[in-house]
Amino acid sequence: MRTPLRLYALGLAAAMVPFVLLSHDLFWLNILIYMYLFAGLAVAWNIIAGFGGQFSLGHGVFFAVGAYMTARLYLNWGITPWLGLIPGALVCAVLGALIFLPTFRLKGSFFAIATLAFNEVGFVFANYLESVTGGPRGLQVPFRAAWSNMIFADPRGYALLMFAFMAVCVAISIALMRSRLGYYLLAVREDEDAARAAGIDVTGVKLRGTALSAALTAIGGGLFAMYVRTIDPPTLFSLPDIGVKFALLALIGGMGTITGPVLGAFLIVPVESYLRAVLGGEWPGTHLIVLGFVMLLAALFMRHGVAGALDSLWRRWRRRT
């Protein structure tokens, strides 16, 4: 059964509520910016991993390439990030198809580990290619506030930008799930052999899904670069903060659904950032202890994520009335 479009519109409007309530507070505004950005990124990851069943742990590469390209184009040739996002997305669509192509015959854990290796290769090369990436010192984007530079004096601009990114990712996911490619992806996830027997070009479907997912992830990376304005390899290729984070958010929210990844980001990012701010200074690592514990409980007691738990609650309630 399709969810009507107006419900999604309502959901997006609800997603604006925290912005309206909290945007006057700079501490919370920073958290909201990350929340919207990572919601979009989790939705992008979910396209190939949730719908297509290809559990990628290598999306950090696309994120990093998008970040470096956007920053480089702006720094060297003064190309506005609004346009600079596009080459990054295109490059990553091709790159994603190229590097995932040899790994698609692997399944399950093997695919996850192979894609994880891409992240490590990326990290080593990002440190090595100093002329492009700035090496271990990274790239710094000077603060020159202007709309055309995608640098805002008022951080609310970033929040709206990230919100728009999230909305675009969600819209693309909705459109995808109503398209032929979306049904193909689901078929491949459910049973590859059956999909092939039904005449689906399995590899082609995986490649198109990857390209779309990688391109959106690259755009997210570019936006991240313009917000933090300092990017270096340890940040961009971090597994718990970037590469595996997309997967964690989508899993905790509910993989393979449209709302799940968004819910995951809306729950975890604020909790994590808040705990980091409150506990991080006093006792290093305690916020991550809490987070690890929450994740463990979520894995054990919400097998299908928040979206799955809400769905079964809703069904039970419907049956009773």
Partner 1 sequence: MDTVLNVLVVGILLGGIYGLVSIGLNLIFGVIRIVNFAQGELVMLGMYGAYLAYTMLGLDPYVSVLVVVPALFVIGLVMQRLVIQPLQNEPSMQIFATFALLILLQNVVLALTRGQGYSVPTQVAGMGLELGEIRIPATRLVIFLAVTTIAVLLHLFLMHTLAGKSIRAVTQDRQAARLMGINVERTFTVTFGIGAALAGLAGVLLAPIYTLSPGIGGNFILAAFAVVVLGGLGSVAGAYFGGLIVGLVEAFAGFYIDPELKQAIWFLIFLAVLVVRPTGLFGQVGAEEVGFREQG
**230: phi then psi, degrees, rounded to nearest 5:** -135, 115
* Token output for 19: 């912005």
Nearer to partner 1, 3 or 312 (CB): 312
Q: Contacting partner 1 (CB under 8 A), which of 16, 75, 79, 116? A: 116
Check residue 137 for interaction with partner 1 (CB under 8 A): no
Beta carbons within 10 angstroms of residue 231's beta carbon: 23
Q: Contacting partner 1 (CB under 8 A), which of 4, 20, 24, 102? A: 102
List b or e across 83-122, with b for residues whose CB sees 16 or more CB atoms inside 10 angstroms: ebbbbbbebbbebbbebbeebbeeeeeebbebbbebbeeb
* Token output for 196: 């092939």
Question: Measured between alpha carbons, how far is 18 from 12 in angstroms, rounded to an integer?
Answer: 11
Residues in contact with 249: Cβ distance below 8 Å, sequence separation at least 6, in sequence order? 38, 39, 41, 42, 261, 264, 265, 268, 269
Check residue 6 for interaction with partner 1 (CB under 8 A): no
Per-residue contact string for residues 24-53; x = within reach of partner 1 by CB under 8 A: -----------------------------x
Binding-site residue total for partner 1 (CB under 8 A)?
Answer: 44
Q: Contacting partner 1 (CB under 8 A), which of 1, 2, 24, 109? A: 109
Residues 264-293 that bind partner 1 (CB under 8 A): 283-286, 288-289, 291-293
Q: What is the DSSP letter of 231?
A: E
Question: Measured between alpha carbons, how far is 270 from 34 in angstroms, rounded to an integer?
Answer: 9
Indicate the Cα dihedral angle 276, 120, 82, 212, nearest 10°: -110
Check residue 110 for interaction with partner 1 (CB under 8 A): yes
Nearer to partner 1, 39 or 251 (CB): 251
First to last CA, the chain: 20
Check residue 247 for interaction with partner 1 (CB under 8 A): yes
Angle, helices 286-301/245-253, rounded to nearest 10 degrees: 50
Question: Measured between alpha carbons, how far is 265 from 275 in angstroms, rounded to an integer?
Answer: 15
Q: What residue type is 295 in one-letter code?
A: M
Q: Contacting partner 1 (CB under 8 A), which of 14, 21, 117, 146? A: 117
Beta carbons within 10 angstroms of residue 297's beta carbon: 10
Q: Is 117 helix (H, G, I), strand (E, B) or coil?
A: helix
Window contacting partner 1 (CB under 8 A); options: 75-83, 118-126, 178-186, 310-318: 118-126
Q: Contacting partner 1 (CB under 8 A), which of 27, 128, 147, 314? A: 128
Nearer to partner 1, 79 or 288 (CB): 288
Residues 178-207 that bind partner 1 (CB under 8 A): 191
Q: Contacting partner 1 (CB under 8 A), which of 28, 34, 45, 55? A: 55
Window contacting partner 1 (CB under 8 A); options: 62-70, 170-178, 218-226, 242-250: 242-250
Nearer to partner 1, 78 or 234 (CB): 234
Q: Which residue shows structure tokens 């928040």? A: 306
Q: Contacting partner 1 (CB under 8 A), which of 296, 313, 314, 315? A: 296
Check residue 107 for interaction with partner 1 (CB under 8 A): yes
**Contact residues: partner 1, CB under 8 A:** 53, 55, 102-103, 105-110, 112-114, 116-118, 120-121, 124-125, 127-128, 191, 240, 244, 247-248, 251-252, 255, 283-286, 288-289, 291-293, 295-296, 299-300, 303
